[in-house]
């Protein structure tokens, strides 16, 4: 057999093997890229709803899907570290026993808002880095300030937090359940419009 015969036999045998290998490799890379894009889209879509289960799930998938992207994993670690570290309160956020309940609530709201802003900045840095890997040129400001979250959803979230905080304070003994006694005649007058 001549060299050209050997090359022909090798091509007949190895051609389909290399073709199958290439198809499998290409398919796996494409699926991996699609999974990364899915995580990125979930985080972008829920960046204003950080307490949503979808947002938390997408954050938890970064460790797996972006394991080969050290800059993304680094930004993810920065965000998680902020979640894990106890955050000290600033002077105007500190609650004292002498404060009224309203003043305590204002201090807590300032603290919550500052933490939210810090976390939003860290999330924007993470999403910007993820976007680069997906071929998107996004600015952190656009990420932080973009996205749609209806005011109604925000109001519901704030009300639910206030209600939870109220009942936790009652449970912990920091607050009493407000009860007022009204005269029956006063109630009847209001009901009849007199």
Report percent pLDDT > 90 for the chain.
Answer: 34
Nearest to 114, CA basis, from 88, 75, 76, 81: 88
Q: Cβ neighbours of residue 149 under 8 Å, at least 6 residues apart?
A: 48, 49
Q: pLDDT per residue over 58-90, tens digit each? A: 999 999 999 999 999 999 999 999 999 998 998
Domain coordinates of the chain in residue numbers? 3-149, 150-194
User: pLDDT grade, residue 185 (50/70/90)?
Assistant: low
Report percent pLDDT > 70 for the chain.
Answer: 88
Half-sphere exposure of 58 (CA within 13 A, CB side): 24
């Amino acid at each position: 057999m001549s060299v050209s015969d050997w090359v022909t036999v090798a091509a007949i045998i190895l051609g389909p093997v290399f073709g199958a290998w290439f198809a499998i490799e290409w398919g796996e890379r494409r699926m991996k890229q699609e999974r990364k894009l899915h995580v990125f889209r979930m985080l972008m879509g829920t960046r204003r709803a950080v307490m949503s289960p979808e947002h938390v799930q997408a954050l938890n998938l970064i460790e797996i899907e972006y394991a080969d992207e050290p800059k993304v994993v680094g930004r993810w670690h920065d965000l998680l570290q902020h979640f894990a570290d106890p955050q000290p309160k600033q002077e105007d956020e500190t609650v004292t026993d002498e404060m009224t309940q309203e003043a305590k609530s204002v201090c807590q709201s300032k603290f919550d808002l500052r933490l939210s802003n810090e976390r939003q900045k860290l999330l924007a840095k993470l999403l910007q880095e993820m976007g680069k890997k997906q071929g998107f040129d996004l600015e952190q400001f656009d990420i932080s300030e973009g996205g749609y979250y209806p005011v109604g959803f925000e109001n519901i979230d704030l009300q639910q937090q206030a209600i939870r905080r109220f009942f936790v304070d009652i449970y912990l003994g920091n607050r009493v359940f407000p009860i007022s006694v009204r005269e029956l005649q006063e109630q009847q007058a209001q009901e009849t419009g007199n």
